[in-house]
Amino acid sequence: MLGYILRRTLYAIPILVGINLLTFALFFLVNTPDDMARLQLGVKRVTPEAIAKWKAERGYDRPLLWNAPAAGTKKFTDTIFFDKSVKLFALDFGRAEDNRDIFNEIRTRMGPSLALAVPVFLVGLMVNITFALGMAFFRATYLDLWGVVLCVAMMSISSLFYIIGGQYLISKLWHLVPISGYEGGVDAAKFLVLPVLIGVIGAFGSSTRFYRTLFLEEMGKDYVRTARAKGLAESVVMFRHVLKNALIPILTGVVVVIPTLFLGSLITESFFGIPGLGSYTIDAIQAQDFAVVRSMVFIGSVLYIVGLLLTDISYTLVDPRVRLA
């Protein structure tokens, strides 16, 4: 089992390198730093001096991959590729356009992101599983039918409308919670109630419907028929056998998103003014702050790969066939 996990970990390295190369190509080869400078400086008739200054301030004035005139290892290290891409591995992200250290920014913004994402994840998981199990229990009745109809209808509404509708109804009409903003400590709760609620509702339709099919699939298996045949009550069959076994694919399926919870939610955070990583990313995209976007792409991918690793590990925990392989 240890060997298996080690193998999977080693497999992650070339993927990280690939992501690094891809982002480098995307940000520096598709458009040259001169193009970026022109876009950032904004004016059509921008002087070459201004471009040179912009590039020098951000360290984009070096050669891309190979610095021929430099001496020794500097040939490789004094390049854009080394400075902007290789250093990502050491979590050295450089500075944003407002000259703040990106790594520091990310560290302070992780808290609010987690404060929103973790409750959404946990509450959502519980609500979805409960409703899915209920629908599977009442399968082929009107309750089940209308449940599915509700899920499909909820899937068809853009997440933007949930946020706008929720803000309008609960904050503006009923004045229950503030419309947006954030404070540290216990006060955060009153700002987080609405975003969490909306996050849960927004993901309800598709997840619940998916879990329902998982439950139904599980209920069609032979051991369930055996359990019924030996005279177990339907509720015992559901809770003791079906729920336990169907939880395996559900839980191993969600393991992959756990690390990415750090990234927060792009849309919700920016709508509610929560100073997390999601709103940081959105602001960077809108301000065309390439350094921040590049760093977030890298961090996001690292977290996703960690999620894949955790998924593999969770498989070994629940499935002996993988453990023994």
Partner 1 sequence: MPVVLATDFLVWLLVLAVASFAWYSRRRAHLAAPWARVFRSRTAVASAVVLACYILVGLLDSLHYRPALPARDAGAPVAYSVEARSLLDLGLAPLRERFEKTYSAPLATRLFQREQVELPDGRTARDFPRLRHGGAHLEAEADWGKDVVLRALAGLAAAFALWSVVLICARRALVRRWPNVPWGAAAAALGAILALAGPAAMLADGFHVLGTNQVGQDVLYQALKSIRTSLVIGTVTTLVLLPLGIMAGIAAGYFRGWVDDVIQYLYTTLNSIPGVLLIAAFVLMLQVFLDNHGDWFPTTAQRADMRLLGLCAILGLTSWTGLARLLRGEALKLSELEYIQAAHAFGVSHARILARHILPNVAHIVIITLVLDFSGLVLAEAVLSYVGVGVDPSTTSFGTMINAARLEMAREPMVWWSLAAAFVFMFALVLAANLFADAVRDGFDPRVRV
**C-beta separation of 126 from 203 below 8 A:** no
Among 286, 320, 321, 324, binds partner 1 (CB under 8 A): 286
Q: Which is nearer to partner 1, 76 or 304 (CB)?
A: 304
Which span (98-106, 135-143, 232-240, 288-296) binds partner 1, by CB under 8 A? 288-296
> Residues, the chain, total?
325
Compute the C-alpha angle 260/263/265, nearest 5°: 105
Among 67, 128, 252, 260, binds partner 1 (CB under 8 A): 260
Q: Cα(272)–Cα(264) distance, rounded to whole angstroms? A: 12
Compute the C-alpha angle 100/283/171, nearest 5°: 120
The DSSP secondary structure of 136-161, one letter per residue, reads HHTTTSHHHHHHHHHHHHHHTS-HHH
Instruction: Determine, following the binding rule CB under 8 A, whether residue 155 of this chain makes contact with partner 1.
Output: yes
Q: 268, 245, 311, 263: which is closest to 163 by C-alpha?
A: 268
Residues near 179 by beta carbon (within 8 Å), at least 6 away in sequence: 167, 171, 172, 272
Per the structure block, which two tokens stand in for 230? 């030996």
Question: By rule CB under 8 A, what count of residues binds partner 1?
Answer: 46
Q: Cα(182)–Cα(217) distance, rounded to whole angstroms? A: 43
CB of 92 to partner 1, least distance (A): 19
Site for partner 1 in 162-181 (CB under 8 A): 164, 167-168, 172
**Amino acid type, 34:** D
Among 1, 18, 126, 223, binds partner 1 (CB under 8 A): 18
Instruction: Determine, following the binding rule CB under 8 A, whether residue 252 of this chain makes contact with partner 1.
Output: no
CB of 87 to partner 1, least distance (A): 18
Quote the distance between the C-alpha of residue 87 and its chain's center. Answer: 23
Instruction: Determine, following the binding rule CB under 8 A, whether residue 207 of this chain makes contact with partner 1.
Output: no
CA distance readout (Å), 23 to 59, 278, 290: 17, 19, 11
Instruction: Determine, following the binding rule CB under 8 A, whether residue 290 of this chain makes contact with partner 1.
Output: yes
Instruction: Determine, following the binding rule CB under 8 A, whether residue 219 of this chain makes contact with partner 1.
Output: no
Per-position x/- string for 266-285, each x denoting binding to partner 1 as judged by CB under 8 A, each - no binding: xx-------------xx--x
Instruction: Determine, following the binding rule CB under 8 A, whether residue 324 of this chain makes contact with partner 1.
Output: no
Among 10, 30, 140, 324, binds partner 1 (CB under 8 A): 30
Which residues in this chain contact partner 1 in the complex, by CB under 8 A?
A: 14-15, 18-19, 22-23, 26-27, 30-31, 35-36, 38-39, 152-153, 155-161, 164, 167-168, 172, 260, 263, 266-267, 281-282, 285-286, 288, 290, 293-294, 296-297, 300-301, 304-305, 308
